[in-house]
Amino acid sequence: MIQETVISQSDCRSRQTQPRCRYTQETREQRCGKDHTLRRHLVDCHEPIRVAEEITMLALLASWLQFVIPQPCFDKYFTEYDFLNGECFKVVVSKGLGYGIIVGSILVKVPQIVKILNAKSAQGISILSTSLELAAVTASLAYGYNKGFPFSAYGEAGFLVLQTAIIAFLIFFYGGNVGMGVFYTTVFTAFLGYLMSGQAPTGLITGLQSAVIPNVVIARMIQVVTNIKNGSTGQLSLVTVFLLFAGSLARIFTSLQETGDNVLVMTYIVSTACNFLILFQIFYYSNKTKTSTQQKKKPKRS
């Protein structure tokens, strides 16, 4: 769009250095004459800038979308408009679930940590079970990272490692053994750094991942037995156990879709079954406690 403007001589001098607007070349006398006015054709340069900004925003949006809709599915959807493509649908669902699990894992064990802090007790939570669980999620994190799997396939392991390590420390802390808790956390942090440094042998990382299944089974069975002996689930959080169950269930699908790794798939199948067992115990002992309380409150008949 071309428009004609009239400006003063002083205006002329001040605008000579403006890089944003182009205008037709004229002589100095023509540009700044005796009448101190200038008539020139000014090309509207704002329209191209607006277009460039819109293109930049669209490119940024496209790059964000490709976290969930990777190529070639992005082109299938937005170039070919093939929205009924079955394979791409599975990819998008898997990516969406994967990132959803990661977001959920940021706070998955926070209810458990808060429950321990409020009670100032870790009663009913086994340090051996927690340590085995910590070893399992650490192996999953190192395995996924070193294998180069998509972050959406293993990212929650990082948040679970942090939160499980905090729970382990709190067990020592409220058990009156702070020194042991500090030592435990220091050794674990150093070992995790080694696994993630790229210096750890591939055989070691693969071996740790292979040991995850027995680790998960032993860890969960220890907790199950502890619950049975105590006749309650103690400070175990229903929200945390449910989220772990739902997350491991969803991971069966995402592992099949994104990695095809049979070791990971079997790990999540076993983990889902074990988490369901503990979830069942929470409901079972919760109902048993309520029934027992109600019976105690009933007045005795004379």
Window from 130-134, 138-142, 293-297 with minimum mean pLDDT = 293-297
pLDDT one-digit tens code per residue, 118-137: 999 988 888 988 998 899 89
Which pLDDT score, from 0 to 100, does residue 37 have?
Answer: 45
Q: Which residue has the higher pLDDT, 237 or 162?
A: 162
Q: What is the DSSP string of 59-109?
A: HHHHHHHHHHS-TTHHHHHHTS--TT-HHHHHHHHHHHHHHHHHHHHTSTT
Domains of the chain by residue range: 40-104, 106-287
- Region 204-232 average pLDDT: 88
Element holding 34 (H helix, E strand) = none
Say if residue 163's pLDDT is above 90: yes
Which pLDDT score, from 0 to 100, does residue 212 have?
Answer: 85
pLDDT one-digit tens code per residue, 50-96: 666 667 777 777 777 777 777 888 888 888 888 888 888 888 888 88
Mean pLDDT for all residues in the chain:
79
pLDDT one-digit tens code per residue, 164-216: 999 999 999 999 999 999 999 999 999 999 999 989 998 999 899 888 888 88
Which pLDDT score, from 0 to 100, does residue 290 have?
Answer: 60
- At residue 287, φ and ψ (nearest 5 deg) are -65, -35
- Region 256-273 average pLDDT: 87
Say if residue 145's pLDDT is above 60: yes
How far apart (Å, rounded) are the C-alpha atoms in residues 233 and 2? Answer: 78
Sign of CA dihedral 113, 119, 122, 124: negative
* Cα-based distances in Å from 199 to 194, 247, 260, 270, 274: 7, 30, 26, 30, 33
How far apart (Å, rounded) are the C-alpha atoms in residues 262 and 275? Answer: 20
> What would the two tokens of residue 125 be?
């939570």
